[in-house]
Every structure is written in C-alpha cells, then in structure tokens.
Amino acid sequence: MKKIVVVGGGAGGLELVTRLSKKLGRKGLAEVILVDRSKTHVWKPLLHEVAAGVIDKNSDGVDYRMHAVRNKYQFQLGNMQRLDKENKCIVLDPLYDEDGHQILPERTIEYDYLVLSMGSVCNDFGTPGVADHCYFLDSLSQAERFHKALLNQLLRVNQSCTDQEVIHVAIVGGGATGTELAAQLHHVANLARAYGMPEMSAERLKVSILEAGPRILPALPERIAGSAKKALTDLGIDVLEGAMVSEATENGFKTKDGKEIDADLLVWSAGVKAPDFLVEMDIFETNRANQILVNEHLQSTVDNDIFVIGDCCGFKQKDGSWVPARAQSAHQMASVAAANIINIFKGAPLKSYEYRDYGSLVHLSKYSTVGSLMGALVNSSMFIEGRLARLVYISLYNMHQYSVHGWFKGTMTLLGRKVSNFVGPKLKLH
C-alpha cells in the first residue's frame, strides 16, 4: 500500500489529511500519516486570542490523535529533522518529556508521496535582541507562553501599591496579528476586573503598535486600514507608523530615529517567512521568504512526488507576485493538492492551482470588524464593517471546522463552542 505523509497540521495540512483519509485511507487505497510537533491544532488566525486568554485550546482546538482515530489516518508527534529525497523518507527527532527523558528514539518514516505544510514563522530580519527578548505568536506553545507572562503582569499591577502602575505591551508589526492582539488585550484588561483582579482595567494597560511602513495593515486597502486605525486609537492604543525598530532590549524597543519605547512585554509580529530549515536542507529551490518553489500543480520543482502547500509554498502568479501567506491560500492549496494526489491514484490529469482572493477581514475583539468582501473579484471595492463583517469573519472559521470535521460534527463542534462560551469563563486564568 502506498504511503502519503503530510508534515504540518496547520489549516492546510489538517484539511488535506482529512480529505485524503476520506477518499483514499478509508478505502484501503493508501496509508495516510500526519506529522506535527504539537499535540493540538488551533486555527492560526486564532492564536492571538489564545495569547490574550479569551479562548482555550481544550475547547477550541483539535486533538490530532483523536481526529486521526475518527478519520482513519495515523498521527506521529515529532519534529522533522531531515528529508532523504533519494530514499523517499523523512527522519524525526527523538521525542523527550518535560524532564528531558527520552520517550521515543529518532524515527524514520518512508513515503511514496510527501506533502510539506510546515507553515511560517515571524521574520525578525536579523534585528538585534529580538530572538532573546520578544514573544512570537507562530505556534500554540508560543501563544500560551505569552499568555502566562500576561497573567503575571495583570497580577502584578492588580496587587501594586500605587494606581500609577501600568502594564505596557509593545507590539512590532501593524499587520492583522498585531492589530487584533492589541484590541484583544484592551478587552482582557477590562475582563480581569470580573475575575479576581478588581484593581485592573484598560486604564492600567498601555499598548503600542510599531509599524515600520507608512500605515498599519499595508496588505489591505487604505480604507480598511484607516477604519482599523481609528478604532484602535479610540481605544487609547498608540499606533506609531513609520517606526522602524533597530534593536530590542530587556526593557523595550529602540527605533532607527533614536526613540526608546519602554515595555513590560515585547511582541514581534512583523513579517513572515518559511522556516529556515527548508533552505538549510539544500534540496529545494526557494525564494527570499524561504518558501519552496512549486509548479502549477503544487509539486516542488525538484521532485514531483513532493507537494508543498500553505505558508511555506512559493507559488508565483502570472503577474509576478507571490501567493500571500494567508489562511484562505492554505485552504485553496489543500483542496487542489488533495485533488491532484487522488487523481494520481486514479490516473487522471492533474489540476492547476489558481489563487482567488476572497477579501480580507480584521477583527478587533468586540469593538470592531472591518474588511473587504470578494477581494480581487470586485477589485477589493466592497467595504464592510460592523455586524456584517463580524458574521463573515465567523463564517471563515466555521468553514474551516466543516473542512476538518464534516458538516454534522462541525455543526456540533460549533454549537458546543457557543455553549462553552456562554457558560464558561470569558478569560482563561491558567
């Protein structure tokens, strides 16, 4: 039986193994294996909410092992150490527990078809001090790490002897993650008062967004960026545009024009790239963002048996631009890659991938949601905000749930989430 190995269970990877297991795995036509370094999947656009503590991975995440059992594929917990293209196998690092004791030795997994869906990481552009002093939101573990640090700061300010004590969070990067996190933090500071921190409020929280470019949300239409900026400034959030960071220190950021922004918590969300590991393997053709170059069928340019999807996929469009690293891109790539792998088994022609921009949305906690609907289909001219934008934003998450769980279980999962949100705490305190 042929083996299909998918490395990376993000938005694209998890949807892909779900499709392949239904069409090939359950029929005994192929053995489908998912590899991921985490035990739990959380939709990446929601990681800033995990960081702020407004959602819980236990209720909003997908347990890979349980999902694998239900969908008839295998799950392997581990980190890919290297790829042996000639012998068609990948090698996983040994697995250790929290005390450093080895649970599993180095493992080798053979494949007939390999799909790399390893996502992206923040690009610090080599800025001094960033790796040592900043929090990132690339993964569930990083989001949980920031959340613990945030809780400590909330407790510190709540117990302080003076009302002048505040928490200062400085966020580098005015993209969707940075702006959405800023709004959620404002909301959380007010929520804390109802959860055992009576002295805490948004008045004792200072949030600064540092954007190197001339405006926040540079990838979105100017009207959306302007509306989002107004919503953020109305909350008292400092939006510093044209502020290029030159260094991160233990106490804050330094900008190229000599300003110093002191902060208790430093977050870096400026730009993304595929993991350096993909370049260091010296196997694939890659672009400046470390993405693996692919052909029209999403096969790597060096091996037709290796597909690449999601943020680590470098797909150059006819106009010379690269497909953006966004959840909708990963979703579309997962659909095409699944169809092509299934077609290989059927002996049918492969489909060509074409990116369709359905618009962009920015959800600023409970305060505002703005965006453009249909994107390139109407030249991003359909501006939406308020309740309608919020409903569209929620529908994107719902579509992901249906892709992963199917319509019935997806609906039950969403209903369960609504009940949990209604009866459960609004702020995660651990």
**What's the CATH number where 342 sits?**
3.50.50.60
The total number of structural domains in the chain stands at 2
Asked if 113 and 197 sit in the same domain, the reply is no
Looking at the domain assignment, is residue 380 inside a domain? no
Asked if 77 and 164 sit in the same domain, the reply is no
Asked if 103 and 12 sit in the same domain, the reply is yes
User: pLDDT tens digits, the chain, 430 residues: what are they?
Assistant: 999 999 999 989 999 999 999 999 999 999 999 999 999 998 888 899 999 988 877 667 899 999 999 999 999 999 999 999 999 999 999 999 888 999 999 999 999 999 999 999 999 999 999 999 999 999 999 999 999 999 999 999 998 867 778 999 999 999 999 999 999 999 999 999 888 888 899 999 999 999 999 999 987 888 888 999 999 999 999 999 999 999 999 999 999 999 999 999 999 999 899 999 999 999 999 999 999 999 999 999 999 999 999 999 999 999 999 999 988 899 999 999 999 999 999 999 999 999 998 877 788 888 887 777 655 444 545 777 777 777 777 787 778 878 888 877 778 777 777 666 666 666 776 6
Asked if 12 and 110 sit in the same domain, the reply is yes
Task: Please give the Cα distance from 62 to 71 (Å, whole number).
Answer: 13
Residue finishing a domain among 303, 323, 346: 346
Looking at the domain assignment, is residue 378 inside a domain? no
| Closest by CA position to 55, among listed 64, 63, 45, 67 | 45
Predicted TM-score (pTM) of the model is 0.89
Asked if 259 and 281 sit in the same domain, the reply is no
Q: What is the pLDDT of residue 161?
A: 64
Residue finishing a domain among 317, 346, 375: 346
Q: What is the pLDDT of residue 377?
A: 45
SS3 178: helix
Q: What is the pLDDT of residue 425?
A: 67
Looking at the domain assignment, is residue 251 inside a domain? yes
Asked if 151 and 259 sit in the same domain, the reply is yes
E strand or H helix at 33, and its extent? Answer: strand 30-36
Residue finishing a domain among 248, 270, 292: 270
Asked if 18 and 100 sit in the same domain, the reply is yes
What is 374-399 written as a DSSP string? Answer: SGGGGTT-EEEETHHHHHHHHHHHHH
Asked if 242 and 203 sit in the same domain, the reply is yes
Q: What is the pLDDT of residue 378?
A: 47
Asked if 12 and 94 sit in the same domain, the reply is yes
Looking at the domain assignment, is residue 408 inside a domain? no
Helical packing angle, 140-158 and 176-191, nearest 10°: 40
Looking at the domain assignment, is residue 302 inside a domain? yes
Asked if 298 and 243 sit in the same domain, the reply is no
Looking at the domain assignment, is residue 396 inside a domain? no
Task: Please give the Cα distance from 88 to 327 (Å, whole number).
Answer: 29
Looking at the domain assignment, is residue 46 inside a domain? yes
Asked if 200 and 172 sit in the same domain, the reply is yes
Q: What is the pLDDT of residue 393?
A: 76
Give the single-character DSSP code of 53.
Answer: T
Looking at the domain assignment, is residue 248 inside a domain? yes
Q: Where are the beta strands (DSSP E) in 301-402?
A: 303-308, 313-314, 359-364, 368-373, 382-385
Which domain range does residue 301 map to? Answer: 2-120+274-346
Asked if 264 and 173 sit in the same domain, the reply is yes
